[in-house]
Amino acid sequence: MTTYVPPSSALESPKALLGWCAENDIAEIDLRFVDIRGIAQHFSMPLAAVSPEDFEEGFGFDGSSIRGFQTINESDMILLADISTAYIDPFFKYPTVAILCDVYDPITREPYANDPRGFAKRAEAYLKSTGIADTAYLGPEPEFFLFSNVRFDTDSHSTFYEIDSPEAFWNSGSPDPSHVYVNRIKDAYFPLPPLDKAQDIRAEMVHVLMACGIPIEVHHHEVAAAGQGE
């Protein structure tokens, strides 16, 4: 099975990781964090521009340009990269190792209060300190729609939206032969193909995520007729 996760020996230290990257023709390091809205942010650096010392000193960025972070007069922030999260991004053109980061104040060297990753760490520490529990188990459940067409517009005198899916019940009269099998409204939980037309693409998503080091338990069609997956 394909894996995008470096070997454990490469994750022992920044020097080991950068050495592994050089040996495996990795072109860039991509540093990632999440803003207060939960939107992933990133910037990339050529491998030659990254040193082991950067992982200790931090990677600087402009916090005032990230919504919900800093004001312009206190804009300097740093990222401290967590090398245990490193993986090769399977979609970038140039071979790139992505690393999740914690946001820190460059002056105090304290974790930044508005960093969502910091929220989670503080919540876990509080859980342990209260004696309620010593471990928190979190199970994300990504749900999504796959549409064949989406249109929308809003202007001064009108607004509209329109979606389409080859699985949707409103396509039962379509001359397209791929629309012969359609799901009834709110009756699309667990159907087999050909009613479930997204089996293969969901499986591809699952195996790419697993190759990136993210364990997956299950995938299936969801209740909504028009291409809902989980």
Whether the per-residue pLDDT at 160 is higher than 90: the answer is yes
| Domain final residue pick, 76, 103, 130 | 130
The domain in which residue 197 lies consists of 144-229
Q: For residue 67, with 0-12 CB atoms within 10 Å meaning exposed, 13-18 middle and 19 or more buried, which class applies?
A: exposed
What is the pLDDT at residue 82?
Answer: 98
Beta bridge partners of 144: 229
Residue 177 within any structural domain of the chain: yes
* Cis amide linkage into residue 194, ω under 30° from 0: yes
- Asked whether the beta carbons of 32 and 41 are under 8 A apart, the reply is yes
Higher pLDDT, residue 174 or 221: 221
Q: Looking at the domain assignment, is residue 135 inside a domain?
A: no
Q: What pLDDT sits at residue 148?
A: 93
- The average pLDDT across 100-121 equals 95
Within-domain flag for 136: no
Residues 162 and 115 in one domain: no
Mean pLDDT of 58-86: 94
Are residue 60 and residue 23 in the same domain, yes or no?
A: yes
Confidence of residue 1 (pLDDT cuts 50, 70, 90): low
Q: Which of 107, 111, 109, 131 is nearest to 119 (CA)?
A: 111
**112-124: average pLDDT:** 94
Tokens of 19: 């050495």
Could you tell me which residues come within 8 angstroms of residue 42 by beta carbon, excluding any fewer than 6 positions away? 30, 31, 32, 33, 98
What number is the average pLDDT over the span 91-117?
A: 97
Global confidence as pTM: 0.89
The pLDDT of residue 176 is 82
pLDDT band at 139 (very low <50, low <70, confident <90, very high): confident
Q: Give the per-residue pLDDT at 77.
A: 94
195 touches 184 (CB < 8 A): no
- Residue 1, domain member (yes or no): no
Task: Indicate the range of 1-15, 117-131, 178-192 predicted with least confidence.
Answer: 178-192
The phi and psi torsions of 108 (rounded to 5 degrees) equal: -85, -20
**pLDDT reading at 180 higher than 90:** no
- Give the chain's domain count: 2
Looking at residue 10, the DSSP 8-state letter turns out to be G
CATH number of the domain within which 124 lies: 3.10.20.70
Domain membership of residue 3 (yes or no) is no
- Region 129-148: what's the mean pLDDT? 92
Mean pLDDT of all residues in 131-151? 93
Domain end among 130, 165, 197: 130
Helix (H, G, I), strand (E, B) or coil at 42: strand
**Same-domain status, 33 and 108:** yes
The pLDDT of residue 2 is 86
169, 75: one domain: no
- Which of the pair, 31 or 172, is modelled with greater confidence? 31
Nearest alpha-carbon partner for 29 in 43, 12, 19 = 43
Rounded mean pLDDT, 171-194: 87
**Inter-residue long-range contacts of 182-190, CB under 8 Å, 24+ positions, other chains counted:** 182/225, 183/225, 183/226, 184/225, 185/225, 186/223, 186/224, 186/225, 187/223, 187/225, 188/221, 188/222, 188/223, 188/224, 188/225, 188/228, 189/220, 189/221, 189/222, 189/223, 190/220, 190/221
